[in-house]
Structure 1
């Protein structure tokens, strides 16, 4: 009997990739908080998750034919965020406090997804050992 990792791991394998991409985007916003003209970006989590679970492939390359191919694609659908703060005069729309809060929330959700995946792997391991 074969094991389908897609069925066994559920949506959690996809959420990790989407949360990781969102963390990169939010970190980029924070890094450019003082860059004139920089526009804050974000990823629509639900849309990116739907794209990842629809069967699209990952933008990773296999360096060896024996490697397992990745099965999740995080859509690069970054959207510009509508600024919530008044214009500072330099055209930058990054609100550092908002970005830090969003980054922290995303990090907690990323960790929760990793915890769920860890529990899934633990249960799969128990099932394979017959515990």
Structure 2
């Protein structure tokens, strides 16, 4: 596909980072929910799934449960500090990927206009 050659792996990476952001946000939102099990995405496995199936790929095989370092009495496995750190790191990576894609689109646009 032409967009794959123009954007390389970055389009798929953006989709995976977006999915991961949703999972991490859900973990943070449920930090006080008894019995809630924190989940995360295996970036490498998810990226392969997206690249193989293009956009909208089923990423369920790349999603797993986090193993807490300290268990909670109510069965909740969310460790808020860990989740917030992972969310912030993922947000920076998402923004970096988005900036790269915006730069690439700008270059292609200028080339099409003959600038």
By the TM > 0.5 criterion, same fold? yes
Once the two structures are TM-superposed, the CA of residue 88 in structure 1 deviates from its matched residue by: 2.2
Once the two structures are TM-superposed, the CA of residue 118 in structure 1 deviates from its matched residue by: 0.3
The answer as to whether partners of 2:15 and 2:55 remain within 8 angstroms in 1 is no
Deviations 1:29-54 (A, max 9, x none): 01110111111100000110011111
What secondary structure is seen at the aligned counterpart in 2 of 1:79?
Answer: strand
How many residue pairs end up in the alignment? 114
Structure 2 runs not aligned, ≥5 long: none
Q: 2: CA distance between counterparts of 1:129 and 1:107?
A: 33
RMSD: 1.4
Bigger Rg, which one: 1
Deviations 1:71-112 (A, max 9, x none): xx2513310011112x22111110000000000000000000
The answer as to whether partners of 2:13 and 2:47 remain within 8 angstroms in 1 is yes
TM-score (norm 2): 0.93
State the partner residue of 1:44. Answer: 42
Which structure: greater helix fraction? Answer: 2
Structure 1 runs not aligned, ≥5 long: 60-72
Kindly indicate whether residue 88 of structure 2 is the aligned counterpart of residue 90 of structure 1.
no
The answer as to whether partners of 1:39 and 1:80 remain within 8 angstroms in 2 is yes
The answer as to whether partners of 1:41 and 1:78 remain within 8 angstroms in 2 is yes
Aligned pairs (5 A) from 1:1-131: 4-54=2-52, 56-59=53-56, 73=57, 75-76=59-60, 77-85=62-70, 87-131=71-115
TM-score (norm 1): 0.82
